[in-house]
């Protein structure tokens, strides 16, 4: 292997789908031929200009890319330290970064002749994005969503149904994202001929972690170019929230070989990362294991049983993390921290007041970490955080957390 490859963080995964020891293809035999087929088709598409031409056209005219890189001036002033930029992926069609990846997978599904699309969703953003693109192309769409999430993300459930998708509430386990993924895999194993499984994050068996990363990398590519335009240089620190980790991987990947760029992933600390395990911080509070087709850091007990995560944010409520993040964590290229529900809520409120942007609870975690570190950094230090989703879907959750009575027309708080 030539030296320049050894010295790159961007060559993974290997032929076994591994990033170091993480990743792989831990699926049942029924699914194995399907993921090998998918890998072959993706490898073909990746080097096919017509595939990327179709993506570029839809990214520009359907999604609204490139998303702006925005200088958060009042937030910068308020925190009194580093200069803060936001990559505005919440302005995408459907309100989050999820559609970047969905477009890629659905175009691939069409090339493979698949007519039925299944997806799992937590906060509902991936489900909405999948339902949207399926409606656009006239494909049948079935979305598995934990019953608990159906309850706390009602607006997105309604959106998916408006878009013609069938939403199936999942009652196994605690009824969250992990359980939705189990049931999506059970569906796939049953409907192997016509069905394409559109995974929403950089997890699952190879080639999903690499494929989803590649589709989401448009975020980092644009950021790099836009930052050159705005500042004439690279950012010093890039920050993104992590559940499975697709928005983060999309921002991070194009910067992995830029040694001067400090990379920080923010996990959901829930009620605090401690023995009570009421959090979703797989890297800071878990250990390596095998689930959903890949080896990665997982929340699990001493017997290797998977624990249910806990977070105010349905999109981060997953006991695992993409395998590439596990690898970046172990080799030290990226730093991973956690933010509690309370800290995320403070960031949510501050962002509304200072920037006129209602952020989703997921990027509120990233923003909370920005709030922690920015005041102690010099004014010429540039931070870019990924504003990966808008908060409309979360207003009911936030209202409840802030004791705000939505049914009271006077807008009084509940005592």
Partner 1 sequence: MSRIDAKFAALRAEGKKAFVSYVMAGDPDYDTSLAVVKDLPAAGVDIIELGLPFTDPMADGPTIQLAGQRALDGGMTLLKTLELARTFRETDNETPIVLMGYYNPIYSLGVDRFLIEAKAAGIDGLIVVDLPPEEDDELCIPAQAAGLSFIRLATPTTDDKRLPKVLQNTSGFVYYVSITGITGAAEAQATDVGPDVARIKAATDLPVVVGFGIKTPETAASIASVADGAVVGSAIVSKIGAGDAPSDVVAFVKTLADGAHSV
Binding residues for partner 1, rule: CB under 8 A, are: 16, 24-34, 172-173, 178, 182, 185-186, 189-192, 289-293, 295, 298, 300, 302-306
Minimum CB separation of residue 168 from partner 1 in Å reads 14
Cis check for the bond before 207: say yes or no (omega within 30 of 0). yes
C-beta of 34 vs 368, nearer to partner 1? 34
* Upper half-sphere CA count for residue 282 (Cβ side, 13 Å): 31
Residue 365 and residue 316 in contact, taking contact as beta carbons nearer than 8 Å = yes
- Neighbouring-strand partners of residue 142: 118, 166
C-beta of 38 vs 350, nearer to partner 1? 38
C-beta of 205 vs 269, nearer to partner 1? 205
Longest dimension (CA), the chain: 68
Minimum CB separation of residue 8 from partner 1 in Å reads 25
Minimum CB separation of residue 122 from partner 1 in Å reads 16
Q: Give Cα separations from 175 to 273, 346, 414 (angstroms).
A: 22, 27, 29
C-beta of 234 vs 290, nearer to partner 1? 290
* Upper half-sphere CA count for residue 365 (Cβ side, 13 Å): 35
What dihedral angle (degrees, nearest 10) is formed by the CA atoms of 196, 393, 214, 103? 50
- Which distant-in-sequence residues (6+ apart) come within 8 Å of 357 by Cβ? 86, 90, 351, 387, 390
Minimum CB separation of residue 35 from partner 1 in Å reads 9
Tokens of 263: 């990379």
CB atoms within 10 A of CB 238: 30
- Burial (CB count <10 Å: 0-12, 13-18, 19+), residue 232: exposed
C-beta of 90 vs 183, nearer to partner 1? 183
Minimum CB separation of residue 295 from partner 1 in Å reads 8
C-beta of 155 vs 173, nearer to partner 1? 173
Minimum CB separation of residue 308 from partner 1 in Å reads 9
Minimum CB separation of residue 302 from partner 1 in Å reads 8
C-beta of 59 vs 144, nearer to partner 1? 144
Residue 346 and residue 359 in contact, taking contact as beta carbons nearer than 8 Å = no
């Amino acid at each position: 292997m030539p030296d320049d490859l050894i010295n790159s963080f961007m060559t993974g995964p290997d032929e076994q789908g591994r990033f170091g020891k993480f990743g792989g293809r831990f699926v049942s035999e029924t699914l194995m031929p399907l993921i090998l087929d998918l890998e072959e088709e993706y490898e073909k598409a990746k080097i096919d200009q017509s595939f990327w031409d179709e993506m570029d056209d839809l990214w520009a005219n359907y999604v609204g890319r490139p998303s702006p890189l925005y200088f958060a001036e009042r937030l910068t002033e308020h925190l009194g330290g580093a200069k803060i930029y936001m990559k505005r992926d919440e302005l995408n069609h459907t309100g989050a970064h999820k559609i970047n990846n969905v477009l890629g997978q659905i175009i691939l599904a069409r090339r493979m002749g698949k007519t039925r699309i299944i997806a799992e969703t937590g906060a509902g953003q991936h489900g909405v994005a999948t339902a949207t693109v399926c409606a656009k192309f006239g494909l049948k769409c079935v979305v598995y969503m934990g019953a608990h999430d159906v309850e706390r993300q009602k607006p997105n459930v309604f959106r998916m149904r408006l878009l013609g998708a069938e939403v199936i509430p999942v009652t196994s386990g605690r009824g969250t994202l992990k359980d939705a993924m189990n049931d999506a895999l059970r569906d796939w194993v049953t409907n192997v001929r016509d069905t394409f499984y559109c995974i929403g994050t950089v997890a699952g068996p190879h080639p999903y972690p690499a494929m989803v990363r590649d589709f989401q990398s448009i975020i980092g590519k644009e950021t790099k170019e836009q930052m050159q335009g705005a500042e004439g240089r690279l950012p010093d620190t890039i920050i993104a929230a992590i559940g499975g980790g697709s928005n983060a991987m999309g921002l991070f990947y194009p910067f992995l070989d830029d040694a001067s760029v400090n990379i920080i992933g923010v996990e959901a600390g829930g009620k605090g990362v401690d023995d009570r395990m009421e959090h979703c911080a797989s890297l800071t509070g878990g250990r390596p294991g095998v689930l959903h087709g890949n080896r990665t850091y997982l929340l699990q007990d001493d017997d290797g049983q998977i624990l249910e995560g806990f977070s105010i944010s349905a999109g981060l409520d997953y006991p695992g993390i993409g395998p590439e993040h596990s690898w970046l964590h172990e080799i030290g290229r990226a730093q991973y921290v956690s933010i509690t529900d309370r800290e995320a809520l403070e960031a949510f409120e501050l962002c509304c007041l200072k920037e006129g942007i209602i952020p989703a609870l997921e990027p509120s975690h990233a923003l909370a970490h920005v709030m922690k570190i920015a005041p102690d950094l010099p004014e010429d230090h540039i931070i870019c955080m990924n504003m990966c989703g808008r908060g409309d879907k979360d207003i009911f959750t936030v209202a409840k957390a802030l004791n705000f009575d939505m049914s009271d027309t006077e807008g009084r708080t509940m005592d």
